Structure 1
Amino acid sequence: MMPRRSYDQYCAVARALDTVGERWTLLIVRELLAGPRRYTDLHADLPGVSTDVLASRLKEMERDRLVTRRRLPPPGAAYVYELTPRGRDLLTVLGALAAWGTADLGEPRPTDAVRAHWAAVPLMRRLAAVPGLPGGVVEVRLDEGAFHIELGGTAPSYADGPAKSPDAVLALPAGARALPDALGDGVAEVTGEGPLADALRGAGARSGGIR
C-alpha cells in the first residue's frame, strides 16, 4: 500500500480529499452503502477497476476507518467488506454529488456500464425531500433490474434486488433513472396500499408527476 498523499493544507475540504479523493474510493462507498459485499461482488459492480487497484483502495479505506473486513459465519465463510459509521456518513456527500452531477448525465453512452442500484443514492435523496413521507420500504423497478430503499430511522438505506414485502413499488420506464425529478416528471408509477404508497402518489399529484 502506497503512503497516503496529502494536500498539506489546513482546510477541512483538503483533509476530506486526502481520505476520499483517490480514484474509485467514493464509488466503493456507493457499493457498500447497500450493505456488506464480497471482494468479487465489488469487482463485478465496479467495471473498469483493476484487481490491484481495488485491493489497494480497500486496504486504504480500512486504514482510514471507512470500512471493516470480517468473515461471514458458516455456511458462507467468505470475507466481506462493510462501511463503518464514519463511512456511512459519506451518504450525504454522495447524495450531493449525485444531485450536482445529474445535469451532466444525459443519455447513456455506448461505452457506459449500467447497474440498476446506481440510481439508489440520488433517489434516496429525492425521497428524503418529500414532505411528510412515512417510513417503509420502497421497491424501485428499472429496466436494468430492481433495488429497494428503506425509509425511516436516522437515514435512508438501500439494498440490491427486490424487497420481500415492499410497502410501495415505484416503477420507472427506460431513461427515467437519469431524471433529477423522477417523482414529478410524469414518468413514475406507484403501486401498493398503505400510507407510504398513498404519500408517494400524493407527492406526484402535487408536482404533476406520479400516477
Structure 2
Amino acid sequence: MQSEQSVESVVRHFQQELSGTSCRLVAVSKTHPVELIREAYDAGQRLFGENRVQELTAKQPALPADIEWHLIGHLQTNKVKYVAPFVHTIQSIDSLKLLLEIERQAARAGRVIQGLLQFHIADEETKFGLSLPEAEALLQDAAVQQLQHVRLAGVMGIATNTDEEPQLRQEFSTLRGYFEQLKARYFADDAGFREISMGMSSDYRLAIEEGSTLIRVGSAIFGRRAYPAPTT
C-alpha cells in the first residue's frame, strides 16, 4: 500500500487511473494473506496474480469462485496439474513442453486455459522467457496447430529492474513489437490474441504508454511482500 492507504482505496485509485484505457490491472497477491485479497475483491478487483503454485492452490479455495487467477511465475511442467482445474491464465509459457502439458492437463480438467508466451526482454540473465525465433519455432510446431484446451492470447515480459526510463521504454517497445509480429504472422484472424502483459508497480505508467493491456501490480496495492519464514 502507498503511504498507509487501505487496499480498497488503492484498488479504486487504479480503477480510476485505468478507466478509459485498454489496460487492466492484475493485482499480484503473492506472499499476502487471503484477508488482503478479499479487501481488494470487495473493492471490485477480479484479476489476481500469483507466482507459486503451492501458494495459489492454498488460497484459491478460500476465496470467491469468480476470481480470475493468473499464474505469473515460472511454471514447472510437473505442477501444471495442480492449477489446471481453476486457473484462468498462465502468463509464463516459455517452452513447447510446458505448453503441451498445459493442453494435456486442461483437457483432463475439461477446461480451456488462456496462455501468454513469456519473452526474455530484460538485461538480466536470471529472467525466464523466449526469444522471438524460439517463439516462432514453437508456433510452427505441428502439435501447436492442434491445441484445443489452451488459447494463446498474447505475450508477457518482465523488464529489467532499473530506474532508467529509456531502457524500460526500449524493453517494453521490444515486447510490443514481438506481439505485433506474432499477431500479423500467426494470429491475424484471431481477435483473442490481444494481450501484452508488461509493467509492474514501479514502471506501469511507462508500460501503459508503450501499449500494455495487463499491468501486474503488487507492492503498490498490498505493501511490501511478507515472505514467510523458511521451514526445515
Question: Considering the TM-score relative to the shorter chain, is it more than 0.5?
Answer: no
User: Normalising by structure 1, what TM-score?
Assistant: 0.26
Structure showing greater radius of gyration is 1
Which structure would you say has the larger RCO, counting Cα contacts within 8 Å and 6 or more residues apart? 2
User: Normalising by structure 2, what TM-score?
Assistant: 0.24
